[in-house]
Amino acid sequence: MKTITGKSPKLTLIGAGPGDPELLTLKAVKALNEADVVLYDSLVNEEILKHANRALLVFVGKRKGNHSHTQEEINELIVNYASDFGHVVRVKGGDPFVFGRGKEEENFALAHGIEVEVIPGISSSVAVPASVGIPVTARGVAESFWVITGTTSNRELSKDLTLAAQSSATVVVLMGMSKLREIAAIYASFGKQDLPIAIIQDGTKSEQKEVVGTIQNIVEISENQRIAAPAVIVIGEVVHLARVKKQLKEDWILEDEFIFQNLNTLPFSN
């Protein structure tokens, strides 16, 4: 099958990473350079679009309560643009296969005879915690981690969170800010009111903000600091290892992980 321009239709699914444009992979840059059409999401840093300087740029972003296109419409756009122009690059924040519905778009394109390539991206579930010094696993602290959606297709909190809250694993919640109070209540129901929790808004970007606290006080802290989506929620003992700012009385100080480790104390207090 050839397009009206004589090119073979192709879809490349790209993960744009967590927000910092320098975290885009070299393979993704190459694909953008070769793109005829780019469909990009609202979580994509538009600075990376400069790599697609000869492509038609089409915004198809979806945010809570404000969808420029439905998923079904995006699927159709992919096929139509690929059939007319050739190489369509679909750019998604993070990794296209981590709550990105990338597999749905791949399957739809394949069902219409379009070649598909997937270029993984750096997931915000790991990169955003790392940006403030939080490892999702750490020897002697956390042996595993869960990545859970805060908003399922029926707009509810994933039931997996109740299972995760009973483990000692690090739990990373994406798209969960609207469910923060509910998340805290689930952990509190298992007696984990003092478990540390961090929220990082606009992770890895210049406007990044972060707050830390405990299950007991995180709702109040996040409201006082006006933390909002998009944000990554990290729950677990690994939060004690963070290099982030905290508010102590009325002054902001920078925690020094080295000092706290060597004094055998914890960097965050209730």
The catalytic site residues sit at 41, 62, 175
DSSP H or E segment with residue 147: strand 145-149
Cα separation of 190 and 125, whole Å? 24
Cα separation of 55 and 40, whole Å? 12
Q: CA-based Rg of the chain, rounded to a whole angstrom?
A: 20
Picking from 199, 204, 36, 244, the residue whose alpha carbon sits closest to that of residue 121 is 204
Helices assigned H by DSSP within the chain: 26-34, 71-85, 102-111, 124-131, 160-164, 180-189, 218-224, 257-262
Percent helix / strand / coil, the chain, rounded to 5 = 30, 25, 45
Cα separation of 76 and 105, whole Å? 9
